[in-house]
Structures are given as C-alpha cells and as structure tokens.
Amino acid sequence: MEVTERSSLLTTVLASLALLLAGCLPSACNREESRALLPADSLSRQIAAQVTPDTLRTVWQTTASETQPLDYPRTVAFGPDGHLYVTDTKAGRLLVLDTTGAVVRSVREDDWSFPYLAGRRGDSVVVFHPDLHRLDVVHDGRVARRLPTPADLPEDALQYAAVTDSAAYLKVVSEQGNNVLARLDAQGAYAARIALPGPRWRHAGLLRTWGDALLSLSGYRPVVDVLAADGTLDSLRLVGFDSPMLARSRTFLRGDTHEAPLLTASAAAAGDHLFVLNMRPGWLRIDAYGRDGKLRQVFTQPDPGYAKQFYPIDLAARRLTADRSGATVALAVAVTQPEPAIYLYRAHLRPGP
C-alpha cells in the first residue's frame, strides 16, 4: 500500500474508532443535565456505595522502548508463555513484553495496518486484521498460519474477533442494523449466526472468552451478551455497576441527547471474575464481578488524582495464585492518553460468598 493511501486509511480508521469509543466521557459532558437514573441503575448505585474500594499494587509501567515506543496500544493479552502481548494499532505491530515490562520481541508484517488481539490458540496468539479480513496465528515471532474472515460486509461495519483452541468468532455491527455474532468455519465462512437486535451502539465492543463462554461486550450499557457453549445467547447485567455517566445514559435512551456516554472501554475474565474498566474522570477504576454478574470488589490505582485526558482503552487479566485468603490476579491496562503506556498491577481477591 502506498504511504499516502495508508495514511488516509489510518486517519479514517482512527476517526471511526474515536467516534465509536469516545462517546461522551465523564470529563467532557454537560454537568447541567438531569441526575435522574433508570431504576436498575439506581439500584446498582446503591449496591456500589456499600463496597469499599481496594487499592491496586503497581508492578511496573512502560512506554515500550526508545526504538519502539508505543503509539496507540489498542489491545493487550497475556500469552501462553506468561508474556504480555500488545497490539499497537497506529504503528501496525505486535509487541511482546516480558515480566518486567521490557520489549523482548516485535512482530510486523508488510501488510499489517490495524492489528487487534483476538486471543490465544494453543501456544500461539492470534491477531485480527479487520481491514484485511484475516486472522494471523503468530508463533515464535512469526505468522505461522493465516485464516480468512468474511469480507462481504457493509461499508460502515465494525468488526470484532475472538478465538479459542477450537473455534473462531466474528461480531459485525453497522448502522444498517444487521448486527450479527457468528462462528466461523476453517475457510472463514459463517458456520453459525445469531442476530443481535437493536442499534449498533448497543453491541459496539470487543469479544472476549470466559471459560467455554464467549462474551460480547458493550461500551455503552452495563450489560454483557453471553454465548454459551451450546449456542444459546443470553444477557448478563452487571449488578452494582456505578458511573457518573448513568444519568446521561438515561437521557440518551429517552432520546433527549444524541451522544451515548461511554461507560466502559473493555473487560477481561480470569477465574470466576470478570474485570471491567469503569471509565472515570481522571483515574483508573476496575470493577470485579462474579459469574452471576454481581459486583464483588472495586479497585482503584494508588493515589488516584485527576487527569482530564486520562484514557484507559483495554484490559487483560491473569490469575496468579489462590489459597484460603483469596486469589491474586495480574491486571494489565493499556492507556492512550496522556501518554501511550502499559501498566501492570496486582490485585487481591477476597474469597467469594
């Protein structure tokens, strides 16, 4: 691809990403709006108020290296080797970080432009390229196999992919309303499809796995669509989710404003917990939910302050140890503003009820 063509495509993709994910952030929305909540959101706020936040322990933070600085770290995931994998969407590459945050490998193919992590398959990681309609299986720093994904999609379609050891999934949402969650066959064709009713904003969000279930995330409502192993689709409401943007969410649903508020940028599962990035005006907050969707714990960064442009965009979780006192998990967070960086934290989970 010529430099000018790639630059134009990069501008278009990043603009679309900003339009979809930014919505209205807590630091930017009109404070004069009604503070009334939906009944379910009001109950969630009452539940959240009873939970005392715990503090995350910082392990390390990095902006990558002088020769390979982070430009736009879009997705993060722990690999089968214990390393942390990061796709830099703007630079078009995959970085591998060791347990200290140092760059141990950089993977870049000539045609890579906007890579996203789709998950793990065996001892490999899989990178999704929505613009190329392809999944690349990366092993030992090279692309070992390429798998196609459907290319006959609406022009305004947003695509999200996830893989397991035995399956590949694709979510497609568009303004036309023909939203679909599909399982793909080995040739990249639809093997099974489930319609996702409602507007595009309701289903805009990454795909993640949780055991043998597939999670379809939504950035604009505290609800996760769950595709079970038997192919049935259900919704899991995050009970106890609280946000300064819930009032605006009600206003948007009533049709009184045209901009949906971003409540959460991402989520990741580890063990029996789902960790959710709860967007806050200036500091990091991660909520932990059980398999029943109920809030278990709330975590905040050490000494949370206020940074208007603070923007965490993705989250990865890995269970480390477990005993009678609970479990320890590693949480990796990708941040694009005020400076592109990756943070690694540890959190202690108390024993469940």
Residues 194-224 have pLDDT tens digits of 999 989 999 999 999 999 999 999 999 999 9
Q: Is the pLDDT of residue 97 over 70?
A: yes
Q: Is the pLDDT of residue 12 over 60?
A: no
The amino acid sitting at 264 is: T
**Domain presence at residue 306:** yes
**Domain presence at residue 1:** yes
CA distance 153 to 163: 20
**Domain presence at residue 145:** no
Q: Is the pLDDT of residue 260 over 80?
A: yes
Give the DSSP per-residue string, 191-249.
Answer: EEEEE--S-HHHH-S-EEEETTEEEE--SSSSEEEEE-TTS-EEEEE-BT---TTHHHH
* 264-295 confidence digits (pLDDT tens): 999 999 999 999 999 987 889 999 999 999 99
Q: Which domain holds residue 270?
A: 1-62+238-353
Q: Is the pLDDT of residue 259 over 50?
A: yes
Of the two residues 141 and 307, the one the predictor is more confident about is 141
- Residue-level pLDDT at 65: 86
The answer to whether 244 and 291 have CB atoms below 8 angstroms apart is no
CA distance 171 to 214: 11
Q: Is the pLDDT of residue 243 over 90?
A: yes
- Residue-level pLDDT at 8: 45
Per-position b or e across 90-111, b if 16+ CB within 10 A of its CB: bbbbbbbbeeebebeebbebee
Q: Across the strands, what pairs with 87?
A: 75, 94
Q: Which of 160, 74, 64, 154 is nearest to 114 (CA)?
A: 74
The amino acid sitting at 121 is: R
**Domain presence at residue 34:** yes
**Domain presence at residue 184:** no
The answer to whether 56 and 331 have CB atoms below 8 angstroms apart is yes
Tell me how crowded residue 277 is: count the other CB atoms within 10 A of its CB.
Answer: 24
Q: What is the token pair recorded at 231?
A: 């192919």
Of the two residues 30 and 167, the one the predictor is more confident about is 167
Q: Is the pLDDT of residue 17 over 60?
A: no
Phi/psi of residue 49, nearest 5 degrees: -65, -20
**Domain presence at residue 12:** yes
Tell me how crowded residue 165 is: count the other CB atoms within 10 A of its CB.
Answer: 8
Burial of 3 by CB count in 10 Å (0-12 exposed, 13-18 middle, 19+ buried)? exposed
How many domains would you assign to the chain?
A: 1
CA distance 35 to 247: 5
What is the residue-averaged pLDDT of the chain? Answer: 89
**Domain presence at residue 177:** no
What whole-number percentage of the chain has pLDDT above 70? 89
Given the DSSP bridges, would you call strands 54-55 and 295-300 parallel, antiparallel or unpaired?
parallel
CA distance 226 to 233: 6
**Residues 234-240, mean pLDDT to the nearest whole number:** 97
**Domain presence at residue 148:** no
- Residue-level pLDDT at 81: 84
